[in-house]
Amino acid sequence: MTQPQRLLAVAYGGGHIAMLLPVLDELRRRRPQLQLQLLALTTARRAALEAGWQPLGYESLMHLLQPDEREIALALGRELQAGNSHPDIPESETLAYLGINAWSLQCQLGQREAARLLEQRGRQGFFPLQFMQRVLRALRPDLVLATNSPRSEHAALEAARLDAIPGVAVLDLFAQPGDPFAARSARPTRVCVLADAVRDNLLAAGWEPERIVVTGNPAFDALQQPRALEQARRLRLDWAQRWGRDPGQLVLLATQPEPRAHPASPWPAGDALPLAMEAAARAWVRQHPRASLVVRHHPNHWHRAPRAEDTAQVRFSVTTQEPVEGLVLAADAVVVQSTTVGLQAAVAGRPVLSLQCSPGALWGLDYAALGVARGVPTLDDLPQALDQTLADPPPPTRWARRQAAAPAVAEQVEQLLDRRAHARPSAASAASD
């Protein structure tokens, strides 16, 4: 009797889990018999639970370690815990995630070299390949679905490749020269990309054409759903009811911490630029009585930002309490550094302003150079750029898109599952060999 096929999806939080959830919903609709398991990493756990999934986590996979390995992993997790907690992640999951990753690093590099790498790069040095091989051999998926995120997602796709299991990666952004994902020589069976320009970037990096499919980004499908349009409508209505005034020209500020400094930028790694952007945007809106501002910091870091009380002109968005899609649709302009929200806004046809002094932009993710946004050279230039953009809104960019991506990604998954099913001998024939 034919066994149901299994799929393992692996995703970090923010835009990464947002890419996979619509695809999983589409697959569940198309193939009810397909066994779907989701390994939701760090802040993805909350998003998965809210979407109705019962996700796996590192804590639930701790049994794959031997007792002595678990003891070592938990001790390593406790050593790394300081500064690595988050209100959306249970302490036990944090310990398991940090500990198993550090243990896996010791298995790969040895204790001394692993400690040196952790000292230099912290969590960014994780690549739990050995552990992901154990996970795949325990769960026995017929396909692994992930995104372009590094660390655990990369390790899951590589473990699948080594075990001859098809892997599908969904790429969120542009795969520009120097992009770590584009530079991978060990590649998944399929990569689903945003647009033709992204496919061309991968081809230029040496990727085989048959691996690349233009599907769009499923995380942006929510922009087309009625609930996002209703959220945008309710935002303006609730604002008017609470404060007795329409928000008028609404600006969305969406930030992320800078992962590393750049020699051409005055801004360091961390939260300095996002917080300065918030201060500048608040100062701008105070000079424009008919305008309003929504401040939204990155889902993994919003809790670190000082939160002033909401006013008739400024509202602080708690990322765990409302989706970003309605905010994007309600906005008349969106200000970013290099967060995915900027591309999301361009897909929705909203004007985007991007800070070109951002280290992230200078390291290669310059939305202005990519045609996604209007470039703002320095933070001092932001007020004038906002004035000009709101007074004369530009037309939608070439990145604006109306087709849903999740069905296109699901189709690629189905093709690979069907190919694997046809290549596998039936139980009856296997028994007769």
**Residues 354, 414 share a domain:** no
State the DSSP string of 50-66. HTT---B-TGGGGGGS-
**Residues 185, 44 share a domain:** yes
SS3 333: strand
Per-residue pLDDT of the chain (433 residues; tens, 9 = 90+): 578 999 999 999 988 999 999 999 999 999 999 999 999 998 899 999 999 999 999 999 999 999 999 888 888 888 888 777 787 788 888 888 898 988 888 888 778 887 787 777 777 778 889 999 999 999 999 999 999 988 899 999 999 999 999 999 999 888 888 888 999 999 999 999 988 889 999 999 999 999 999 999 998 998 988 999 999 999 999 999 999 999 999 999 999 999 999 999 999 999 999 999 999 999 999 999 999 999 999 877 777 788 889 999 999 998 878 989 999 999 999 999 999 899 999 999 999 999 999 999 998 889 999 999 999 999 999 999 999 999 999 999 988 887 889 999 999 999 999 999 988 754 333 333 3
**Residues 168, 213 share a domain:** yes
Question: What tokens appear for 42 in the block?
Answer: 């760090």
Asked if residue 397 is part of any domain, the answer here is no
**Residues 174, 87 share a domain:** yes
**Residues 136, 253 share a domain:** no
Report pLDDT for 431: 32
Residue 3, amino acid: Q
**Residues 132, 22 share a domain:** yes
Q: Report pTM.
A: 0.75
Report pLDDT for 294: 97
Report pLDDT for 77: 81
Name residue 405's beta-bridge partners: none
CA angle 199, 200, 206 (to 5 degrees): 95
**Residues 18, 156 share a domain:** yes
Backbone angles phi, psi at 389, to 5 degrees: -70, -40
Angle between helices 91-109 and 111-121 (to 10 degrees): 130
Report pLDDT for 1: 55
Residue-range definition of the domain harbouring residue 333: 221-391
Asked if residue 76 is part of any domain, the answer here is yes
Backbone angles phi, psi at 73, to 5 degrees: -60, -45
**Residues 238, 378 share a domain:** yes
Report pLDDT for 430: 35
Do 324 and 345 form a contact (C-beta atoms < 8 A)?
no
Closest by alpha carbon to 342, among 359, 357, 361? 361
CATH number at 272 reads 3.40.50.12580
Report pLDDT for 173: 81
Asked if residue 300 is part of any domain, the answer here is yes
Asked if residue 400 is part of any domain, the answer here is no
Which H helix or E strand runs over 102?
Answer: helix 91-109
**Residues 326, 206 share a domain:** no
**384, burial (CB in 10 Å: exposed 0-12, middle 13-18, buried 19+):** exposed
Asked if residue 377 is part of any domain, the answer here is yes
**Residues 344, 298 share a domain:** yes
Length of the chain: 433
**Residues 300, 352 share a domain:** yes
Beta strand 143-147 pairing with 167-170: parallel
CB atoms within 10 A of CB 320: 14
b/e sequence 24-59, b meaning 16+ C-beta within 10 Å: bbbbeeebeebebbbbbbbbbbbbbeebebebbbbb
